[in-house]
Structure 1
């Protein structure tokens, strides 16, 4: 069908060109203005129909344009170009709002991160440094890792452009070589470091250093030149460029202080005051020179209201997946949100309990029914979840 439309379009173009520019254009064979307008209208209609058939991601480009070249360059280099660059300014301007679509209850943290990235994008910060260097501190399950994932998705086009390193694996001084590569004469020379090789291949990315407080002090000092100059020399003498990265470090240091000060949501301190309260805890683990090179961003514990919003967000994602994969509606009673929130009794685990309940209870039970219907050749149009008298989940599948 696409080939037929292209052939008709080319034929119409050739016909119109021949009629207008041919040697006999002054003769009787010349098209009238009305006929030319009709041909152009038909050509526009065919082009529109072709675009509708191809959709947003055509398997074959009609012509090799700037976007097609940009896609190839992006695939080879890991550098986002084309439409992503064109929309980058608008993306950065609305960064906080887009982050808040997926991260609930941490507006102050998202504001701090967004402001720093916007300043860097406006080229008002030192261009030699990374776009942003942040230390996210707070209890588990409050959105620190999700912030990194969302930033990679919004700024760089997907989680594939996120480099994640578990710093608990670098508790000894000699493990520095694992990050930047083994020196000449040692096992592993030439293979590249976990950090340097990943950023060399993906220079535009989010770098997530998880549990930074567990790294050896010598490992932490390795990052001084990254934070200051935006480069890190690997074992082979190559300078790896970090200037286009956003570096996020997570830490649970000061969790007890945060939980104590934020026990009452009505009297919890402002972010700036909370950072000052955390400074003694942070200085027990991190050197002042290290903290002076980054922005400390505290994350508040999850409140009951925030927990309900997170549950609704997760259920909304299930609804979207059902609609996309099976064209089925997904609805639930408000009691379901209340029951899931009631089961999330471990404050220290934050919102991770929500995902645990959904993936271990609700989704497996729905999946079994879906597979049974699919095996029987039946379709499902609607799924409704309610809560029984015993607190168990009840499913109505049509």
Structure 2
């Protein structure tokens, strides 16, 4: 039978060893000390071993400390000496130059030691933030900076930069020789399941920082986790343990957290917030981000054993900033560049992914064919699989040929790089042999890179294309060329509104040439005209031409904001209201996609107070959300659409305008003057004065026929992509469909409804019948018999 005192004895010994002494095991000394310190256990000991119970607990505690300092039982199991037992001796002094105690070594990481060992990468572009930290750390009281910023902007890197400056001696004398340590909250909390254990560990760290002969600055990353850390009901949390030392200046701390977490946790605790001085770490501008990433290229190139060209660094920043949403610079640019280095290194050692993918498809076909051959009645499917296999074999052969050609060029480039004298162009040549070979390799890799010689712009674009799904060719195309031919690109999708497209293209070109105010959006346009004439299609075409696809179109239906209080839906709910902290529809969308087209649809239906929100956006290119964060609109194009004055436009285009007793068709300028009185009644003059008014004409019969033709082309491509079938439309089909669009008010939208009702309904019925019977679809023929549309699927 075990004594009922045994569980209590073991629990007390474990608390002494772990919580008070910071040990990971229970020794004989802990067991003895637990007996002498607990009155109940000592009373039970009195009856069984009175001589042991009479020992003095204070002297035994001193002997315990001496033994622990000399290694305790692990050092050879030596027992307390007589001198120690009588308290005649003192514990030996700590060795000179020792920078941390047991708790510091266990729960913190020495950043200055890592910097001295060269384990911290160079930190560029954050000199201002580091200087702000140094100013705060040199104060006598409340000398604790807290870095706030979005994840990925480099808050931890700023502290690492300070550690490097301390090691290099680039700090004031007050901070020279200081040790910078990172407090690992995970280690503090690990295994601290017993009540009070976490607090005791943190107290040990604080006490050792105070007692250290070398000044120590603690860095606490994700500092918001301190709020409530270790604190159960009725207990102090970690933050309350730090407050007194922080207020008196006994403990210097650098904290880091996101802006949202700071507002959520620190601002609610005024006593804690006033002990810290905020240092904002903003997302760097692209030019600064390039410098930051460039500082890491040597380490990356050494790790991956690849060459990184300067153009790759610029492309990593530029393309990631434009196409990767939800992450911040420089973090996303570093991730892209690191992935590109890994991809180049991998391409030198293994088969390219496209070749492996085609090989897997061929293997799958072989397995399915083998399974079908063991059964009967699958001759048609087997023949189809064999035809697919033959096509894949051709594709595989072409891929192998392209891969071999690219590898051969890479080998030649490597040879040229080894020959130093080939690095410069010969007389009369603009390019050196090395540059010429690289240019030739890029031409081969333009559409499908299979092997890489170095990390260049095409590799970066290939990585981002894989992450985002945006076609590679669209990313590497010259943006300036896109802007120069913008009107032509828009006219391929928007028919019959050339004047509007030219006006929009001119303003975008002016902004792209840096002749407009850089603090404003790239363009703010009010598109006015009847419904269904191409206003929304213009927004889609702009997103496709300038920002990589329709996914970068942000559409806000302004008819949902007819009340003054609904402005909170755009920028976020204010503090204390439901939804605070979740962000606004507009601000969150633009924050995630700063390079985008913003479409404010049916803007005349919004409340005037809601429209006043956009004054700051139109003037300064920024909007502050409900949490105090600035959202950047400087890289957006803002389009507002309105149907105000539609009747005036329709009447003017139908009857013409009279100028100097002469009636003629209205021009775009005439429509603006006709619409201006109506627009001034609908919108405030201050709002209209910030916009470029772009009128849209009603659709003529010829334009409608062209639009229907474009829609038929889209249907043809959709069927080819989804079913692999060819579609034949008669030439007169577009004209007949356009003739049925009798609803003038709905414009080209009526054509969609007619095509769906008359054409797509029949095609879908026949397609579903073929699919249900398992028959392949190879061709769809559409014919006209009078006014009837006939469809034949084969």
Normalising to structure 1: TM-score of the pair? 0.82
Number of aligned positions between the proteins? 371
Change beyond 3 A, Cα 1:79–1:134: farther
Residue correspondence of structure 1 range 231-270 to structure 2 within 5 A: 231-264=622-655, 267-270=664-667
Give the Cα separation in 1 of the matches to 2:469 and 2:690. Answer: 27
**Structure 2 CA distance for partners of 1:387 and 1:82, relative to 1, 3 Å:** closer
Q: CA deviation at 1:15?
A: 12
2:483 to 72, 92, 98: 92
2:626 paired with 1:229? no
Alpha-carbon contact 1:136-1:251 (below 8 Å) kept: yes
User: Unaligned regions of 5+ residues in structure 1, if any?
Assistant: 22-43
Q: Distance in 1 between matches of 2:471 and 2:762?
A: 40
**Residue 387 of structure 1 corresponds to which residue in structure 2?**
784
Deviations 1:101-148 (A, max 9, x none): 111110001000001101100111111110000000111100000110
CA distance in 2, matches of 1:132, 1:220: 17
**Farther-moved stretch of structure 1 (361-370 vs 233-242):** 361-370
Counterpart of 1:148 (choices 535, 539, 549) is 539
Q: What is the rounded CA distance, in whole Å, between the counterparts of 1:99 and 1:307 in structure 2?
A: 17
Provide the residue aligned with 2:550 in structure 1. Answer: 159
Distance in 2 between residues matched to 1:90 and 1:291, nearest whole Å = 32
SS in 2 for 1:247: strand
Question: How does 1:66-215 map onto structure 2 within 5 Å?
Answer: 66-70=457-461, 84=475, 87-215=478-606
* 8 A Cα contact 2:447 2:473, kept in partner: no
Residue 733 of structure 2 corresponds to 336
Following the alignment from structure 1 to structure 2, what is the Cα–Cα distance between the partners of residues 12 and 218?
63
Secondary structure at the residue paired with 1:118?
helix
What corresponds to 1:33 in structure 2? none
Q: Aligned to 1:220, what secondary structure does the other structure show?
A: helix
Residue number in structure 2 paired with 1:368 = 765
Check whether the contact 2:780–2:793 (CA below 8 A) recurs between aligned residues. Answer: yes
Change (3 A) 1:105 1:17: closer
Q: Distance in 2 between matches of 1:375 and 1:249?
A: 46
Shift of residue 380, structure 1, vs aligned partner: 3.3
**Which deviations, in whole Å up to 9, do the C-alpha atoms of 1:19-38 show, x marking residues without a partner?**
xx9xxxxxxxxxxxxxxxxx
Distance in 1, Cα, partners of 2:587 & 2:651 = 39
Kept in 2: contact 1:79–1:202 (CA 8 A): no
* Partner SS state of residue 682, structure 2: coil
Q: Is the 8 A contact 1:383 1:397 kept in 2?
A: yes
Tell me, in whole angstroms, the C-alpha distance in 2 between the residues paired with 1:375 and 1:277. Answer: 57
SS of 2:574 mapped into structure 1: coil
The structure-2 alpha-carbon separation of the partners of 1:260 and 1:126, relative to structure 1 and needing over 3 Å to count, comes to: same
Structure 2: runs of 5 or more not aligned: 1-350, 357-398, 419-437, 657-662
Matching residue within 675, 698, 703 for 1:278: 675
Q: Report the CA distance shift for 1:376/1:62 in structure 2 as closer, same or farther (over 3 A).
A: farther
Task: Give the deviation of 1:188 after TM superposition.
Answer: 1.0
Whether the aligned pair in 2 keeps the contact of 1:78 and 1:201 (CA below 8 Å) is: no
Larger relative contact order (Cα-Cα within 8 Å, sequence gap ≥ 6): 1
For residues 34-73 of structure 1, the aligned pairs below 5 Å read: 56=447, 65-70=456-461
Secondary structure, counterpart of 1:145 in structure 2: helix
Q: Does residue 291 of structure 1 match 2:291?
A: no
Higher mean C-alpha displacement, 319-328 vs 187-196: 319-328
Residue 11 to residue 268, structure 1, CA distance change in 2 (3 Å)? closer
Q: Distance in 1 between matches of 2:655 and 2:676?
A: 21
1:345 equivalent among 732, 737, 742: 742
Could you list the per-position Cα deviations for residues 275-329 of structure 1 after superposition, in whole angstroms to 9, with x for gaps in the alignment?
0110001011111111111100011011111111111111112222233344433
Task: Determine the structure 2 residue equivalent to 1:40.
Answer: none
Closer/same/farther in 2, CA of residues 319 and 79 from structure 1, 3 Å limit? closer
2:717 corresponds to which residue?
320
Distance 1:135 1:360 in 2: 33
Secondary structure of 2:526's counterpart equals strand
Tell me, what secondary structure is at the counterpart of 2:664? coil
Distance 1:375 1:326, change over 3 A: same
Bigger-Rg structure (1/2): 2
CA distance in 2, matches of 1:17, 1:130: 46
User: What is the distance in 2 between the residues matched to 1:285 and 1:75?
Assistant: 46
Q: Is the 8 A contact 1:133 1:295 kept in 2?
A: yes
Q: Distance in 2 between matches of 1:59 and 1:185?
A: 55
Task: Report the aligned-residue RMSD.
Answer: 3.6
Distance change >3 Å, CA 125–CA 76, structure 1 → 2: farther
Contact 1:79–1:204 (CA under 8 A) maintained in structure 2: no
State whether residues 130 and 227 of structure 1, in contact with CA within 8 Å, keep that contact through their aligned partners in structure 2.
yes
Corresponding residue number in structure 2 for 1:29: none
Partner Cα separation in structure 2 for residue 367 and residue 77 of structure 1: 32
Tell me how far 1:9 sits from its aligned partner: 8.7
Residues 79 and 203, structure 1, Cα contact 8 Å, conserved in 2: no
CA distance in 2, matches of 1:14, 1:102: 45
Taking structure 2 as the reference length, what is the TM-score of the superposition? Answer: 0.43
Counterpart-to-counterpart distance in 2, 1:94 and 1:193: 35
What is the SS of the residue equivalent to 1:141?
Answer: coil
Distance in 2 of aligned mates of 1:160 and 1:397: 34
